[in-house]
Amino acid sequence: MTKAQFVTTVAQKSMLSQKDTNIVIESALETLVELLKDNDHISFVDFGSFSTLEKAARDVRIPSTGEVIQVKSKRVVRFRVGKALKEALS
């Protein structure tokens, strides 16, 4: 599903215009990104939670050449599935 299809589906379910729905979804996503940048933990009860995790720098070996390179440390987004979502998908 594309973002446009998602906006259309949410607009139909919420009985809002597609323009208003797009504004709400964009605002929610921007807020989510801002909070994750600040290392905040965002939790939606029964849906899941978003957080960031720091991955340490490490050495990896390229199998085809045997060369060892160093991968820099980085922050990644982590999503943990909530109970209700997990049960809905089972």
Q: Please tell me the CATH code under which domain 40-90 is placed.
A: 4.10.520.10
C-alpha torsion 46→52→58→64, nearest 10? 60
CA distance 10 to 14: 6
CA distance 7 to 24: 10
The phi-psi region of residue 50 (left if phi > 0; otherwise alpha if psi is between -120 and 50; otherwise beta) is beta
> What's the pLDDT at 43?
95
Best CA proximity match to 58, nearest among 45, 69, 47: 69
> What's the pLDDT at 32?
95
Per-residue pLDDT tens listing for the chain (90 residues): 999 999 999 999 999 999 999 999 999 999 999 999 998 999 999 999 999 999 999 999 999 999 999 999 999 999 999 999 999 999
> What's the pLDDT at 35?
94
Which residues make up the CATH 4.10.520.10 domain(s) of the chain?
A: 40-90
> What's the pLDDT at 58?
95
> What's the pLDDT at 6?
95
